[in-house]
Amino acid sequence: MKEFQLIEQFFKNKGQKRRDVMLGIGDDCALVQPADGKVIAISCDTLVEGVHFFADMPAHALGYKSLAVNLSDLAAMGAEPAWMTLALSLPDVNQQWLADFSSGLFEAAEYYGVALVGGDTTRGPRCINVTINGQVPKGKALKRSGAKIGDWVFVTGSLGDSALGLDMLRNKQVIKPEHKEYLLNRHYYPTPRVLAGQALRGLASSAIDLSDGLVSDLSHILKASNVGAVIDANAIPLSSSLTESVGAEQALAYALTGGEDYELLFTVPEAQRGAIDTALLHAGVKFVKIGQICSGNKIKFTLDGQPFTPEFKGFEHFS
């Protein structure tokens, strides 16, 4: 199977159809028409075999996750998903792998309303690069730079599950059978909080998605906003699967630094606290207050009411 046969069979005319796509796969460029009064939000993520996923990762899960991690970036900006391109590097043409990969990719694309409008395929080490485009009303995008002293810090969902799922795959943790499927799915099939991000427009003062761990990603907000934060470690949401598998202390370490949760971390002014409950109720996502923005430029932790200094850091490429 050659390149254009591969594209024709597995990717062209598949998935979501959108009226704002003037010209999709098959030309030198795609043509899309943004809605009036909206700006385009663009994000790109690369997944490299051996760095971001194991060679034996199920292709369906890899296809799904390749898009989901990009959708999480749009969620953090309050953007509505619209179009994507896919650059795919493969060592060979495995038709079953491609069928499963494209099935997972388009499952996520259909659910979140994303159209594949172009991309590239080439021979090489297995690598997936997705560029996602979304739309957000002009002046309404959530940013990292808006947190103010006194704002409250919130997170959605629960933290640390994906990192434990990864360590399970690495054979670094022995997990009880009743928790394996949940933890593996949290790693393979993250849930980008797209509706929650849109619901936070006009309410949250800043936001970021949790891809590198709470410590690292909160630090990005603090740096961009030139503020500090006090975080109550007891308030950080942990699943029963996580705590029952590794105990409270190690569960907290996973939550603070594990990464790949793809939940939202956001700050909210006191005046908007009441509105958050209603806004996120319609998004169908659980969330919890874990701290408050303060002066300075560092994160201070408390545990059981006492100062607490974690002895670990979040993930960073090339560190």
pLDDT at 18: 82
Q: 95 and 2 in contact (C-beta within 8 Å)?
A: no
What is the per-residue pLDDT across 24-83, written as a single tens digit (0 to 9) for each?
A: 877 888 899 999 999 999 999 999 999 899 999 999 999 999 999 999 999 999 999 999
Q: Is the pTM of this model over 0.75?
A: yes
pLDDT at 4: 67
Phi, psi of 10 (to 5 degrees): -110, -15
Rg from Cα positions in the chain: 20
What is the per-residue pLDDT across 84-122, written as a single tens digit (0 to 9) for each?
A: 999 999 999 899 999 999 999 999 999 999 999 998 889
pLDDT at 217: 96
What amino acid occupies position 203?
L
What is the per-residue pLDDT across 213-257, written as a single tens digit (0 to 9) for each?
A: 999 999 999 999 999 999 999 999 999 999 999 999 999 999 999
Mean pLDDT of all residues belonging to the chain: 92
Asked whether residue 318 carries a pLDDT value surpassing 60, the answer given is: no
Q: For residue 253, give the 3-state DSSP assignment.
A: helix
Closest CA relative to residue 317, chosen from 265, 259, 248: 259
What is the per-residue pLDDT across 143-193, written as a single tens digit (0 to 9) for each?
A: 999 999 999 999 999 999 999 999 999 999 989 999 999 999 999 999 999
CB neighbourhood size of 221 (10 A): 24
Spell out the SS3 assignment of 13-47: CCCCCCCCEEECECECCCEECCCCCEEEEEEEEEE
Give the lowest-confidence range in 3-12, 21-30, 302-311: 3-12
For the CA atoms of 114, 120, 124, 127, the dihedral, rounded to the nearest 10 degrees, stands at -20
Q: How far apart are CA 58 and CA 187, in angstroms?
A: 12
Tell me, what DSSP letter sits at residue 234? Answer: G
DSSP alpha helices (H): ranges in 131-213?
161-169, 177-188, 194-199
| Element containing residue 290 per DSSP (H, E) | strand 287-294
Taken in order 251, 253, 258, 262, is the CA torsion positive or negative?
A: positive
Contacts of 55 (CB under 8 A, 6+ apart): 49, 126
Q: For residue 291, give the 3-state DSSP assignment.
A: strand
Taken in order 198, 201, 204, 208, is the CA torsion positive or negative?
A: positive
pLDDT at 56: 94
Q: How far apart are CA 168 and CA 164, in angstroms?
A: 6
CB neighbourhood size of 146 (10 A): 17
Q: What is the pLDDT confidence band of residue 317, given thresholds at 50, 70 and 90?
A: very low
Contacts of 95 (CB under 8 A, 6+ apart): 1
Q: 245 and 163 in contact (C-beta within 8 Å)?
A: no
pLDDT at 312: 61
pLDDT at 69: 96
CA angle 210, 249, 263 (to 5 degrees): 15
